Structure 1
Amino acid sequence: MSSGTERHTSAEGRVRENVFAGVAIDRMAERRDDRLWVEETERADDTRFLVLDSEGQAFVDERGEHPQWMTPVMRAERFGDVVSTLLGIANGTAWFTLVLDEAHAEIFVDLTSARRMSLREAGLILPAFEAGLFAFAKGITHWQRQTRFCSLCGAPTLVVASGHRVQCTNPDGPHMHFPRTDAAIIVIVEDGDRCLLGRQRGWPAGRYSTLAGFIEPGESLEDAVRREVREESGVEVLHATYHSSQPWPLPASLMVGFTATARTREIVLRDDELEDARWFTAEDIVSGMRSGELGVPPPLSVSYRLIEHWLAQRNISLEELIASSPAR
């Protein structure tokens, strides 16, 4: 099942953008504290606002094909009291986001007939730039909601720098807080002609995926790969090589993808996180998917990209394989 191996195994194919990644936008960090510039930009005719609800869902048009952008005119007339966050400038257009409470959300829906869409759904449906912008907006606004009080002294905080810093209001020593991202590794481990995949309880029947876990303090990315694989499967890893990364604001993570080489083969499930883990040959994956007994993660995830790349090195197209597999 060849699909153009050169396209997949070249450097370009190996690092092709994951969902939510590769958003070509100038985040304008140097202008975030310039309130006059920000306010003037908010009023520019071609500026657009990505609208989220209080649960972090985006409002999209009736057909669900694009975000239902708010214009500066609509914002000034109906939502002028809602504070926005600057996302940046792309293709000459300034992009902001704002979060509506339920009362404002109902008004927006009445005006536009918009409907709500989760980030997971958007990652599979919306154009890449729009899905990535949504991920950016959800990540930064989630952090704002989670940082309403200073973690050092407990004082209330204020959002400043057009949404990108939070300042403690303690007059005796105000502290500044910056957005944070929790890094996690995700890895496809190979041993010759086999790769290691596992499944968690509660997943759809037959679905297997690459192994993943959060990085702990004082740990490198490569050390986290070795530890997580050992803890979850009992397999020891020799080498870990960076593959690609993916912002994953569900709610606040960065998935860092690796390929790795196994030192040992024996699988010993050591905790309750995995229900099962197995070594799969490429033919195991092909036959399992063709029969409907095996499923892989959706294209939304970097796990899909890791499996796709591993199969592509063996002249197998995961996209074509899914298309020919029975519906699950």
Structure 2
Amino acid sequence: MADAPSPFAFLDGALDRAEYLRSDAARLAALWPAARVLLLDGEGRALADAEGGPRLDAGADHADARDAAVLLGLDGEQAWFALPLAEAASPDLPRIDLRSAAASWPVREATAFAQARAVLHWRARHRYCGACGGALRFERAGWLGRCDGCGLEHYPRTDPAVIVAVSDGERLLLGRQANWPARRYSTLAGFVEPGETLEQTVAREVFEESAVRVRGCRYLASQPWPFPSSLMLGFYAEAEPDEPRANDEELEDARWFTRDEVGAALRGETRESGLLLSPRLSISRWLVECWYEAGGSAG
């Protein structure tokens, strides 16, 4: 029996990251001509075909670019790489952003796109050593930046963040940012700070953004979120029925929604609920669905 598809994007179809290959220059050179190559521009968009589908070139099409490519992993015996797009050579080629690709591409291509976007974003913004200012030289198939000046090694970073379905037992707490579409609300989220547990982050972020006090929480699931380089750690939290007060620096509004309002929004009945939820590609939407399906309680 086939595994059920994951409830949100960037999980299914992951490549074998083949860490052992990253230092094997001879093997990488042999794999390159037949490899699939995903090209991304400076804004993190991928080259697409005329219908918006995935365009994956062969390594042989970019014979002089192998040293600039990042190994994403293996699909069976075929290697996949990410390559920064030479803008001057291809100004008019069609592009697609990652959110759109997640909704329309096959899962393996969309998940590889997410991986490529995150690591190429790191490389583009970490070209120099933060300790001595020397230029970095990338090794291990693009996954290590080495400073020849001071010897410091630099690795891709991932920023952990919690995202939380907060309930008082009957209602769900959601917030909205000022630049979102009208009536769009989402679960609360925030980055983990140094020296802080995930549970402490949940309580702090919820209180900072809404003035609602968390009594306890539990972990549910995670999602890579390469916008640009986060890992979203999904939680359910039980909270006091405090009156929300949005932090103007974080949110435009925060409020409790009833189970009926959330159910109408999940069914697309936005006129009845006055509420728009995050798209299905996000763990935020899944957390809301879990809360609703559990009867508006423990998720």
Fold shared by both chains (TM-score > 0.5): yes
Q: Check 1:279–1:82 CA distance in 2 against 1; reply closer, same or farther (3 A cut).
A: same
Paired residue for 1:306, among 271, 282, 287? Answer: 287
Measured after TM superposition, the shift of residue 17 of structure 1 is 4.5
SS, match of residue 290 in structure 2: helix
Paired AA for residue 68 in structure 1: R
SS, match of residue 90 in structure 2: helix
Measured after TM superposition, the shift of residue 313 of structure 1 is 2.0
**C-alpha distance in structure 1 between counterparts of 2:37 and 2:7, whole Å:** 25
Measured after TM superposition, the shift of residue 207 of structure 1 is 1.2
Measured after TM superposition, the shift of residue 189 of structure 1 is 0.5
Paired residue for 2:60, among 36, 55, 73? Answer: 73
SS, match of residue 18 in structure 1: coil
Q: Check 1:31–1:81 CA distance in 2 against 1; reply closer, same or farther (3 A cut).
A: closer
8 A Cα contact 1:82 1:98, kept in partner: no
Partner residue in 2 for 1:319: none
8 A Cα contact 1:231 1:271, kept in partner: no
User: For each residue in 1:190-225, what CA deviation from the matched residue of structure 2 results, as whole angstroms up to 9, or x when unmatched?
Assistant: 111211111111211111110011111111111100
SS, match of residue 269 in structure 2: helix
Q: Check 1:248–1:287 CA distance in 2 against 1; reply closer, same or farther (3 A cut).
A: closer
Measured after TM superposition, the shift of residue 236 of structure 1 is 0.7
Partner residue in 1 for 2:96: 117
Identity %: 42
Partner residue in 2 for 1:178: 155
Partner residue in 1 for 2:121: 142
**C-alpha distance in structure 2 between counterparts of 1:169 and 1:195, whole Å:** 52
RMSD: 2.0
**C-alpha distance in structure 1 between counterparts of 2:270 and 2:138, whole Å:** 53
Unaligned runs of 5+ in 1: 1-11, 316-328
SS, match of residue 255 in structure 1: strand
Partner residue in 2 for 1:250: 227
Paired residue for 2:18, among 1, 19, 28? Answer: 28
Q: Check 1:200–1:83 CA distance in 2 against 1; reply closer, same or farther (3 A cut).
A: same
SS, match of residue 80 in structure 2: strand
User: For each residue in 1:267-302, what CA deviation from the matched residue of structure 2 results, as whole angstroms up to 9, or x when unmatched?
Assistant: 233443212111111112234652522111111211
Paired residue for 2:45, among 41, 54, 57? Answer: 57
Q: Check 1:215–1:202 CA distance in 2 against 1; reply closer, same or farther (3 A cut).
A: same
User: For each residue in 1:214-273, what CA deviation from the matched residue of structure 2 results, as whole angstroms up to 9, or x when unmatched?
Assistant: 111111111100000001111111111111111111111111111111134232334432
SS, match of residue 252 in structure 2: strand
Paired AA for residue 205 in structure 2: E
**Poorly superposed stretches of 4+, deviation over 3 Å:** 79-82, 286-289
TM-score, length basis structure 1: 0.83
> Is 2:216 the partner of 1:239?
yes
Unaligned runs of 5+ in 2: none
Paired residue for 1:97, among 75, 82, 85? Answer: 82
Measured after TM superposition, the shift of residue 158 of structure 1 is 0.5
Partner residue in 2 for 1:216: 193
SS, match of residue 253 in structure 2: strand
Paired AA for residue 164 in structure 1: W
8 A Cα contact 2:32 2:66, kept in partner: no
8 A Cα contact 2:185 2:276, kept in partner: yes
Q: Check 1:72–1:23 CA distance in 2 against 1; reply closer, same or farther (3 A cut).
A: same
Partner residue in 2 for 1:8: none
Paired AA for residue 30 in structure 1: Y
**C-alpha distance in structure 2 between counterparts of 1:23 and 1:182, whole Å:** 23
**C-alpha distance in structure 1 between counterparts of 2:143 and 2:180, whole Å:** 36
> Number of residue pairs matched?
290
**C-alpha distance in structure 2 between counterparts of 1:237 and 1:128, whole Å:** 36
